[in-house]
Amino acid sequence: MHFGEFEFAKIIPWAAQWGYLGAAGALFVEGLSIPFPGGTFLLLYGFLASQGKISLPLAIFCASIGYTLAGTFPYLVGKIGGRPLILNYGPYIGFSHKYFKSTERWFHKFGNPTVAFGRLLFFRNYISYFAGIAKMPTFSFYFYTWIGILPWVAFMTILGYLLGNNWSYALRLAERYSWVGVVALVVAVICVYLLIKSRIFQKANKWLGDA
């Protein structure tokens, strides 16, 4: 789902007025798996940062926190309802049995870090259910979700910042060419992979597992 240039231009004053809260709110909706142009809003807030209306780092931080907090709902659904609930009702929200089994295999193979790199794959918004089913500690869930979504949020927001007044061109590219999303995905996957391989992340993973 994307906004046209006219709609995009109309929401610029609104986005500027709401500032960081708007960035967090937009990505919160995205994190709920509701059809919503989260990437377009990130381009918008990057543009606002290029105009000096907001801080780029703070916009990235607030947007990533908004998405992370939104994961609470599917996490609790999985934690309370368990595997049977997701199997029975998942198809109604686009989570087919095929996706369910694929996601389950990933989670069993890689454990908690799946919540991080899973944000960059086809089951991005569904991995939260498995974190709940597995009774993953809440703090660990938030940590891995934030680590996983941050590279994508940063990439799209910085792209909007660099393009500046050419936001209409960026919007047309995002609507017509899938390679923009592919580049964002590749960059984000590489960032998360390097992070997971780092000693700091491994120490944090051990600490969270022992907590």
Looking at residue 22, its amino acid is G
pLDDT at 6: 45
Instruction: Give me 205's structure tokens.
Output: 């993973």
Would the pLDDT of 33 be above 80?
Answer: no
**Cβ atoms of residues 40 and 3 within 8 Å:** yes
Instruction: Give me 64's structure tokens.
Output: 């990533």
- Coil, helix or strand at residue 66: helix
Give residue 22's pLDDT band: very low, low, confident or very high (50, 70, 90): very high
- For 49-99, what is each residue's pLDDT tens digit? 999 999 999 999 999 999 999 999 989 988 898 888 877 777 776 667 777
Find the DSSP H helices in the chain. 5-31, 38-50, 56-70, 72-89, 97-110, 114-117, 127-133, 138-163, 167-176, 179-197, 199-210
- The answer to whether the pTM exceeds 0.85 is no
Per-domain boundaries in the chain: 1-211
In percent, the amount of the chain with pLDDT more than 90 equals 22
**Cβ atoms of residues 68 and 179 within 8 Å:** no
C-beta contacts of 21-27 below 8 A and 24+ residues apart: 21/62, 23/54, 23/59, 23/62, 23/63, 23/66, 24/62, 24/63, 24/65, 24/66, 25/66, 26/63, 26/66, 27/63, 27/64, 27/66, 27/67, 27/70, 27/153
